[in-house]
A = this chain, B = another copy of it.
Amino acid sequence: MEVNGSRKRETYHHGALREELVEACVRLIEAEGIAAVSLRRVAREAGVSPGAPYHHFADRAALLSAISARGFELLTQDLLGAVGRRGTTSGGDEVARTVAAYVAFARRQPGHFQVMFRPELSEPEKHPAVQEAGDAALQVLTELVGRLGVADPHALGLTLWATGHGLAALALDGLLTQKAETWDTDPDDLLARAVGQIGRSVDALTGLPGETRQHEA
C-alpha cells in the first residue's frame, strides 16, 4: 500500500531527495502511524533505492531527528504567535492561549509531534539540533511565565510544558475523544474548558499572597 505512488523518475539523480524523504516520512507517520515507518519504506515512497537515503542521513535516527528539530521550530513559531497576540486581558489568558496553541500544533502536525516526544527514536543526545530546537520552544514558555511575576516561574514553566504536552498526547492517542464520549461531552469543548481552567488557575496563582510569601521566608 503506497501512500504516494512512488512514481518513477526519468533522471538518475533525484534533485531534492533530502526534502522528499522528510516529507514522505511525515506523510507516512500521519497515514499509518510511527510503527509503519521504515527507512526502506520511506525510500520506496520517494521512488528511490534502499541505500539512497544514507547519502542524506547517517541513519534512521538522523532522519527522525531532522523531523523532530523541524517540528520544534514550527512549534516555537506557533507559541510565539500565541504569546504575541493582542487583546490580552490577563496573564492567565496568555497562558491559556499558549497552551491551546501547543495542543493545536500537535493536532495540526501530528507527524512531527509524534516524533518530537519520543527521544528513543531521534536519539537527541547524538543530535544536538533537536535539543536546541526543543530548548527554544520551552524558552518561549519560560519567558512568558517570567513576565507573570509568579514566585516560582521555573516550576510553573515546567508544569505548563508538561500539561500542554500531556493534553496534546491525550488528544493524539484518542484518549480525549474516548473520555469525552464517556462523559457525554464534545472533545473540543472539553479541551477548551481544560485550557481555560489552566488560565484561571494561573491567574489565581499570581494573585495568591501565599505564593510570594514562600520565597520571602
Contacts and interface: CB of A to CB of B under 8 A. Distances in A.
A57 to B, nearest CB: 17
A183 interface: yes
Interface stretch (A4-12, A46-54, A204-212): A204-212
Contacts of A164: 166
Q: How many copies of this protein are present in the complex?
A: 2
Interface in A160-195: 161-167, 169-170, 173-176, 179, 183, 185, 190-191, 193-194
B167 A158 contact: yes
B35 A158 contact: no
**Most chain B CB within a 10 A radius of its CB, from A163, A198, A208:** A163
Given A154-B183, A158-B190, A120 B35 contact: yes
Contacts of A175: 134
Given A165-B169, A204-B204, A190 B120 contact: no
Interface string A121-132: 100000000000
A70 interface: no
Interface of A: 33-35, 117-121, 134, 138, 152, 154-156, 158-159, 161-167, 169-170, 173-176, 179, 183, 185, 190-191, 193-194, 196-198, 200-202, 204-205, 208, 210-211
